[in-house]
Structure formats: C-alpha cells, structure tokens
Amino acid sequence: MGRIEVICAHLPACRVFADVGCDHGYCTQYALRRGLCERAYPCDVSAACLKKAETLLAEEIAAGRCFPVCCDGLDGLPEPPDCVLIAGMGGAEIVSILARLSRLPEKFVLQPMKNSEKVRAFLVERGAGIGRDMTFRDGKFYDIITGTREGGTRYSAFELRYGRDNLLAPTPAFFAKLAKDVATVRRALRAAEGTRREGLLSRLHELEEIYDAVEERL
C-alpha cells in the first residue's frame, strides 16, 4: 500500500476527527466517507494547502460534516477532537503540537517523517497507550504510531529508538531500512576520525546486532 493508504488503514472510529497538516485532505475524506467519524476538522497552517482540501471536500463541507480550519496545530478548533491524525511532519513538530494540549487526544495516529524516537519518548512520558508502532515502505521508509490517551505503555531504550513492533514482530520493510542504515553508517566511517568515528562504530555495532537478530526471524 502507499503511504496515504497505510495511514488511512490505521484510522480508528471516533466522533470528532482532526487531520492536522491535512494538505489535500485525502485522509479526512476517507474518514468521512467510510463513516469513521461524525464530523471532521481538516487543519493546516497554510491557507493555500487548506484550499486544496476544501476543493476535495466540497461535498462533505456542504453536508455540514466537514469544517476546514486554518490554524497552527490544533489551536483554534471549536471543539476537542476524539481522534487526531498528524502526518507528514517531523517528530519534534508533532511533539510540540501535542505538548500544547492540556491532555492527549483520546485516540491518535502519528506519522513522523523523522525523529520518531522523540514522539515515542513523549508518548511514554505522558502515559499513553501505544498500539501500533512500525516502519513501512512506500519508496521511502516511514514510521506510523497509533494509540490512546491512557494505557501507560513502557518502552525499552531500543524500542524508543527503533519502534516496539519493529523489534517484536519485524517486517521486510524494517529489515530493508536496517540494511540501508548499516550501509549509510559504513560509508560515513570511511571519512570519520576521532570521537565521531567512535560514535559511528558504536552505532554500527548496534545496527548490525539488530540486523542479525531480525534476519534470523524473517
């Protein structure tokens, strides 16, 4: 499946859905047309991007089920959503958006483009229950993290760095990402010196250890 299809496949049923950084609004349209929510708030800080979503979602807007909002994160929504989707942003930006809330959404689907470990650490610190946490591939490699406000999932240091499901039930996509990361570190080592070289060697040892363990399980 493609990136958008994978994200949509992980959307849970809810009453009020918010799609932060909605861009074209495909995920909002999917949630509404599949009956996953009663009403939806596609949000984007860019008025130009939101206009694209408004065009796609014209039918849902006319039906009074969709309410586009030009805002930063979830700031300015007229009601708190039960489920929040934040996709296509960096992990630090996702954390910044969620940290501004008095409490986490009841349900969430997060797809960080980088720094996934920051998202995991934030969720664990806030006592969230993490459901799915895996790497998938659509040309590039992506992580998707789903869960609920409560649950108190605990993570090991390795799980924070690599994703719990990737370690407990590895997939070919995660294995391919490990192979890519190993090759990247090996290339960097050729020109590295001093403390940087020591750090890269430590990183390579860890990656190769996980790579070998995953290879045995696939």
Tokens of 28: 């909002």
Single-letter residue type at 100? R
C-alpha closest to that of 167 among 200, 118, 201, 216: 216
C-alpha closest to that of 103 among 72, 82, 77: 82
3 state DSSP class of 138: strand
Task: Please tell me the pTM assigned to this model.
Answer: 0.95
76: left (phi over 0), alpha (psi -120 to 50) or beta: left
Please determine, looking at this structure, whether the domain spanning 3-154 carries the CATH number 3.40.50.150: yes
Tokens of 13: 């049923």
How many Cα atoms sit within 13 Å of 101 on the Cβ side? 21
Q: What is the pLDDT of residue 218?
A: 82
Per-residue pLDDT of the chain (218 residues; tens, 9 = 90+): 799 999 999 999 999 999 999 988 999 999 999 999 999 999 999 998 899 999 999 999 999 999 999 999 999 899 999 999 999 999 999 999 999 999 999 999 999 999 999 999 999 999 999 999 999 999 999 999 999 999 999 999 999 999 999 999 999 999 999 999 999 999 998 888 888 999 999 999 999 999 999 998 88
Q: What is the pLDDT of residue 12?
A: 97
Are 3 and 102 a contacting pair, CB within 8 Å?
Answer: no
3-state secondary structure 104-118: CCCEEEEEECCCHHH
CA–CA dist 208, 185 (Å, integer): 11
How many Cα atoms sit within 13 Å of 51 on the Cβ side? 3
- Sign of the four-CA dihedral 6, 183, 115, 175: positive
> What does the domain layout of the chain look like in residue ranges?
3-154, 173-217
